[in-house]
Structure 1
Amino acid sequence: MTATSNSEFDCAEFALALLEWLDDRSDDEVPAEAGTVDDALELLASERRRLFLQVMRTYGEAITLPDAAEEVAVRETGDAVRELSAERVADVYISLYHDHLPRLVDAGLLDYDQERDLVSPARL
Protein backbone atom coordinates (compact mmCIF):
# COMPACT_ATOMS: atom_id res chain seq x y z
CA MET A 1 0.00 0.00 0.00
CA THR A 2 1.12 3.53 -0.65
CA ALA A 3 0.29 6.70 1.20
CA THR A 4 -1.48 9.71 -0.19
CA SER A 5 -0.49 13.04 1.29
CA ASN A 6 -3.05 14.77 3.49
CA SER A 7 -2.29 17.95 1.55
CA GLU A 8 -4.17 16.45 -1.42
CA PHE A 9 -7.38 16.57 0.63
CA ASP A 10 -9.12 19.91 0.19
CA CYS A 11 -11.24 20.47 3.31
CA ALA A 12 -13.14 23.44 1.91
CA GLU A 13 -13.94 21.54 -1.28
CA PHE A 14 -15.19 18.58 0.74
CA ALA A 15 -17.32 20.75 3.03
CA LEU A 16 -18.89 22.55 0.07
CA ALA A 17 -19.58 19.23 -1.69
CA LEU A 18 -21.20 17.86 1.46
CA LEU A 19 -23.41 20.93 1.87
CA GLU A 20 -24.35 20.83 -1.82
CA TRP A 21 -25.21 17.13 -1.51
CA LEU A 22 -27.41 17.85 1.52
CA ASP A 23 -29.18 20.70 -0.31
CA ASP A 24 -29.89 18.47 -3.32
CA ARG A 25 -31.63 15.77 -1.24
CA SER A 26 -35.26 15.85 -0.25
CA ASP A 27 -36.22 14.49 3.16
CA ASP A 28 -37.59 11.27 1.64
CA GLU A 29 -34.37 10.65 -0.36
CA VAL A 30 -32.07 10.70 2.68
CA PRO A 31 -32.07 7.35 4.50
CA ALA A 32 -33.07 7.54 8.17
CA GLU A 33 -29.70 6.12 9.21
CA ALA A 34 -27.96 9.08 7.55
CA GLY A 35 -29.03 11.25 10.48
CA THR A 36 -28.67 15.00 10.71
CA VAL A 37 -25.97 17.41 9.64
CA ASP A 38 -24.85 17.49 13.28
CA ASP A 39 -24.52 13.69 13.20
CA ALA A 40 -22.42 13.92 10.04
CA LEU A 41 -20.17 16.60 11.50
CA GLU A 42 -19.74 14.61 14.72
CA LEU A 43 -18.82 11.56 12.66
CA LEU A 44 -16.23 13.58 10.73
CA ALA A 45 -14.81 15.24 13.86
CA SER A 46 -12.37 12.36 14.37
CA GLU A 47 -9.21 12.68 12.31
CA ARG A 48 -8.78 8.90 12.31
CA ARG A 49 -12.28 8.42 10.85
CA ARG A 50 -11.59 11.05 8.21
CA LEU A 51 -8.34 9.31 7.29
CA PHE A 52 -10.14 5.96 7.21
CA LEU A 53 -12.72 7.39 4.82
CA GLN A 54 -9.94 8.89 2.69
CA VAL A 55 -8.27 5.48 2.48
CA MET A 56 -11.51 3.86 1.42
CA ARG A 57 -12.15 6.61 -1.14
CA THR A 58 -8.63 6.20 -2.51
CA TYR A 59 -9.03 2.47 -3.06
CA GLY A 60 -12.71 2.56 -3.94
CA GLU A 61 -13.09 -1.18 -3.39
CA ALA A 62 -12.98 -3.77 -0.63
CA ILE A 63 -9.69 -4.06 1.25
CA THR A 64 -8.80 -5.94 4.39
CA LEU A 65 -9.16 -4.07 7.65
CA PRO A 66 -5.47 -4.75 8.48
CA ASP A 67 -4.46 -3.11 5.18
CA ALA A 68 -6.73 -0.15 5.91
CA ALA A 69 -5.25 0.15 9.42
CA GLU A 70 -1.73 0.14 7.99
CA GLU A 71 -2.64 2.86 5.50
CA VAL A 72 -4.32 4.98 8.19
CA ALA A 73 -1.19 4.64 10.36
CA VAL A 74 0.96 5.75 7.41
CA ARG A 75 -1.21 8.81 6.89
CA GLU A 76 -1.29 9.66 10.59
CA THR A 77 2.46 9.49 11.05
CA GLY A 78 3.78 10.38 7.61
CA ASP A 79 6.16 7.42 7.96
CA ALA A 80 6.74 4.80 5.30
CA VAL A 81 5.09 1.43 5.90
CA ARG A 82 8.44 -0.21 6.65
CA GLU A 83 9.10 2.37 9.40
CA LEU A 84 5.86 1.66 11.29
CA SER A 85 5.99 -0.54 14.35
CA ALA A 86 3.70 -3.54 14.54
CA GLU A 87 2.33 -2.07 17.78
CA ARG A 88 1.36 1.18 16.05
CA VAL A 89 -0.53 -0.65 13.30
CA ALA A 90 -2.18 -2.95 15.88
CA ASP A 91 -3.33 0.08 17.90
CA VAL A 92 -4.87 1.65 14.80
CA TYR A 93 -6.51 -1.67 13.83
CA ILE A 94 -8.05 -2.09 17.29
CA SER A 95 -9.44 1.45 17.33
CA LEU A 96 -10.83 1.05 13.81
CA TYR A 97 -12.41 -2.30 14.64
CA HIS A 98 -13.94 -1.35 17.99
CA ASP A 99 -14.78 2.33 17.52
CA HIS A 100 -14.54 3.90 14.07
CA LEU A 101 -15.69 1.06 11.79
CA PRO A 102 -18.97 0.42 13.68
CA ARG A 103 -19.82 4.13 13.56
CA LEU A 104 -19.12 4.35 9.82
CA VAL A 105 -21.06 1.15 9.12
CA ASP A 106 -24.01 2.39 11.20
CA ALA A 107 -23.93 5.68 9.27
CA GLY A 108 -24.14 3.74 6.00
CA LEU A 109 -20.75 4.92 4.72
CA LEU A 110 -18.90 1.60 4.87
CA ASP A 111 -19.77 -2.10 4.64
CA TYR A 112 -17.91 -4.74 6.62
CA ASP A 113 -17.63 -8.48 6.03
CA GLN A 114 -16.44 -9.76 9.40
CA GLU A 115 -15.79 -13.32 8.19
CA ARG A 116 -13.32 -12.09 5.58
CA ASP A 117 -12.26 -8.96 7.54
CA LEU A 118 -13.02 -6.87 4.44
CA VAL A 119 -14.19 -3.29 4.53
CA SER A 120 -15.63 -1.55 1.49
CA PRO A 121 -17.30 1.74 0.61
CA ALA A 122 -21.08 1.46 0.94
CA ARG A 123 -23.14 1.84 -2.17
CA LEU A 124 -25.39 4.79 -1.31
Structure 2
Amino acid sequence: MDQRSATRMEAACSLLSESERRYLLYLLADERSANLEDLVRQIAAWERGDPASTIDKDGRQHVYVTLVHNHLPRLADYDIVDYDLRSGEIVLTEGFDDIKPLLEQFRQTEAVPEIRQRPAL
Protein backbone atom coordinates (compact mmCIF):
# COMPACT_ATOMS: atom_id res chain seq x y z
CA MET A 1 0.00 0.00 0.00
CA ASP A 2 1.47 3.36 -1.00
CA GLN A 3 1.46 6.42 1.26
CA ARG A 4 -1.53 8.03 -0.48
CA SER A 5 -3.65 4.90 -0.06
CA ALA A 6 -2.62 4.56 3.57
CA THR A 7 -3.54 8.19 4.24
CA ARG A 8 -6.96 7.75 2.60
CA MET A 9 -7.59 4.58 4.63
CA GLU A 10 -6.68 6.36 7.86
CA ALA A 11 -9.00 9.24 6.96
CA ALA A 12 -11.86 6.82 6.20
CA CYS A 13 -11.39 5.03 9.52
CA SER A 14 -11.32 8.35 11.34
CA LEU A 15 -14.50 9.52 9.61
CA LEU A 16 -16.33 6.31 10.45
CA SER A 17 -15.18 6.19 14.06
CA GLU A 18 -18.07 8.44 15.17
CA SER A 19 -21.43 6.66 15.48
CA GLU A 20 -23.50 9.69 14.43
CA ARG A 21 -21.50 10.01 11.22
CA ARG A 22 -21.94 6.30 10.48
CA TYR A 23 -25.66 6.47 11.21
CA LEU A 24 -25.98 9.45 8.88
CA LEU A 25 -24.18 7.59 6.11
CA TYR A 26 -26.19 4.39 6.60
CA LEU A 27 -29.38 6.39 6.10
CA LEU A 28 -28.06 8.30 3.11
CA ALA A 29 -26.67 5.16 1.47
CA ASP A 30 -30.16 3.80 0.89
CA GLU A 31 -31.48 6.81 -1.05
CA ARG A 32 -28.33 8.92 -1.74
CA SER A 33 -30.18 12.00 -0.45
CA ALA A 34 -32.39 12.93 2.48
CA ASN A 35 -33.76 15.78 4.55
CA LEU A 36 -31.79 16.84 7.62
CA GLU A 37 -34.77 16.75 9.99
CA ASP A 38 -35.68 13.20 9.00
CA LEU A 39 -32.09 12.08 9.49
CA VAL A 40 -31.82 13.81 12.87
CA ARG A 41 -34.97 12.10 14.14
CA GLN A 42 -33.79 8.61 13.11
CA ILE A 43 -30.24 9.09 14.41
CA ALA A 44 -31.58 10.31 17.77
CA ALA A 45 -33.88 7.29 17.91
CA TRP A 46 -31.02 4.86 17.27
CA GLU A 47 -28.88 6.56 19.90
CA ARG A 48 -31.65 6.40 22.52
CA GLY A 49 -32.99 3.01 21.51
CA ASP A 50 -36.51 4.40 21.07
CA PRO A 51 -38.90 4.59 18.09
CA ALA A 52 -38.30 7.68 15.92
CA SER A 53 -41.91 8.78 16.43
CA THR A 54 -41.29 9.22 20.17
CA ILE A 55 -38.24 11.51 19.90
CA ASP A 56 -39.15 15.04 20.98
CA LYS A 57 -37.42 18.32 20.09
CA ASP A 58 -35.06 18.14 23.05
CA GLY A 59 -34.06 14.63 22.03
CA ARG A 60 -33.20 15.83 18.53
CA GLN A 61 -31.37 19.02 19.52
CA HIS A 62 -28.01 17.43 20.40
CA VAL A 63 -27.94 15.37 17.20
CA TYR A 64 -28.86 18.41 15.08
CA VAL A 65 -26.10 20.55 16.59
CA THR A 66 -23.39 17.92 16.20
CA LEU A 67 -24.42 17.14 12.62
CA VAL A 68 -24.50 20.78 11.57
CA HIS A 69 -21.37 21.93 13.39
CA ASN A 70 -19.18 18.85 13.18
CA HIS A 71 -20.20 15.85 11.10
CA LEU A 72 -21.62 17.44 7.94
CA PRO A 73 -18.75 19.91 7.49
CA ARG A 74 -16.20 17.14 8.01
CA LEU A 75 -17.91 14.83 5.51
CA ALA A 76 -18.16 17.71 3.05
CA ASP A 77 -14.43 18.42 3.45
CA TYR A 78 -13.74 14.85 2.33
CA ASP A 79 -16.20 15.17 -0.59
CA ILE A 80 -18.55 12.54 0.82
CA VAL A 81 -21.66 14.74 1.13
CA ASP A 82 -23.01 18.05 -0.10
CA TYR A 83 -25.58 19.82 2.05
CA ASP A 84 -27.69 22.95 2.10
CA LEU A 85 -28.81 24.01 5.57
CA ARG A 86 -31.45 26.37 4.17
CA SER A 87 -33.32 23.58 2.42
CA GLY A 88 -32.14 20.81 4.75
CA GLU A 89 -31.13 18.61 1.82
CA ILE A 90 -28.11 16.34 2.17
CA VAL A 91 -26.77 14.42 -0.84
CA LEU A 92 -24.01 11.82 -1.15
CA THR A 93 -21.22 12.69 -3.57
CA GLU A 94 -18.86 10.48 -5.55
CA GLY A 95 -16.42 10.41 -2.63
CA PHE A 96 -18.86 8.17 -0.77
CA ASP A 97 -17.96 5.29 -3.07
CA ASP A 98 -14.43 5.29 -1.61
CA ILE A 99 -15.66 4.54 1.92
CA LYS A 100 -18.71 2.46 1.05
CA PRO A 101 -17.01 -0.96 1.46
CA LEU A 102 -15.61 0.01 4.86
CA LEU A 103 -18.96 1.44 5.94
CA GLU A 104 -20.60 -1.89 5.09
CA GLN A 105 -18.11 -3.66 7.36
CA PHE A 106 -19.01 -1.29 10.18
CA ARG A 107 -22.73 -1.85 9.54
CA GLN A 108 -22.39 -5.58 10.18
CA THR A 109 -21.02 -4.93 13.68
CA GLU A 110 -23.42 -2.21 14.89
CA ALA A 111 -25.15 -2.80 18.22
CA VAL A 112 -28.50 -1.54 16.90
CA PRO A 113 -30.23 -4.55 15.28
CA GLU A 114 -32.29 -2.36 12.92
CA ILE A 115 -29.09 -1.04 11.35
CA ARG A 116 -27.65 -4.51 10.76
CA GLN A 117 -30.92 -5.73 9.24
CA ARG A 118 -31.12 -3.00 6.60
CA PRO A 119 -30.18 -4.03 3.05
CA ALA A 120 -26.50 -4.11 2.21
CA LEU A 121 -25.03 -0.94 0.82
Cα deviation code 1:57-110 (max 9, x no counterpart): 12322x221111111112222211222121111110111000001011111111
Structure 1 residues 60 and 98, CA, compared in 2 at 3 Å: closer, same or farther? same
- Give the alignment partner of residue 50 of structure 1, picking from 15, 18, 22: 22
Q: Secondary structure at 1:108's aligned position in 2?
A: coil
Match of 2:92 in 1: 121
- Give the alignment partner of residue 65 of structure 1, picking from 11, 36, 44: 36
Structure 2: unaligned runs, 5 residues or longer:
96-121
**Structure 1: distance between partners of 2:14 and 2:40:** 21
Q: Secondary structure at 1:120's aligned position in 2?
A: strand
Using the aligned pairs only, state the percent identity. Answer: 27
Match of 2:11 in 1: 39
Structure 1 residues 1-16: aligned runs within 5 Å? none
Structure 1: unaligned runs, 5 residues or longer:
1-22
Match of 2:65 in 1: 94
Give the aligned length: 92
TM-score by length of 2: 0.67
Larger radius of gyration: 1
Cα distance, 1:111 vs structure 2: 0.8
**Structure 2: distance between partners of 1:36 and 1:123:** 15
**Considering only aligned residues, what root-mean-square deviation do their CA atoms show, in Å?**
1.9
**Structure 1: distance between partners of 2:43 and 2:19:** 10
Name the aligned partner's letter for residue 69 of structure 2: H
Structure 1 residues 102 and 54, CA, compared in 2 at 3 Å: closer, same or farther? same
- Structure 1 segments, 4+ long, off by >3 Å, are none
Q: Secondary structure at 2:50's aligned position in 1?
A: coil
TM-score by length of 1: 0.65
Matching of residue 77 in structure 1 with residue 48 in structure 2: yes
- Give the alignment partner of residue 106 of structure 1, picking from 71, 77, 82: 77
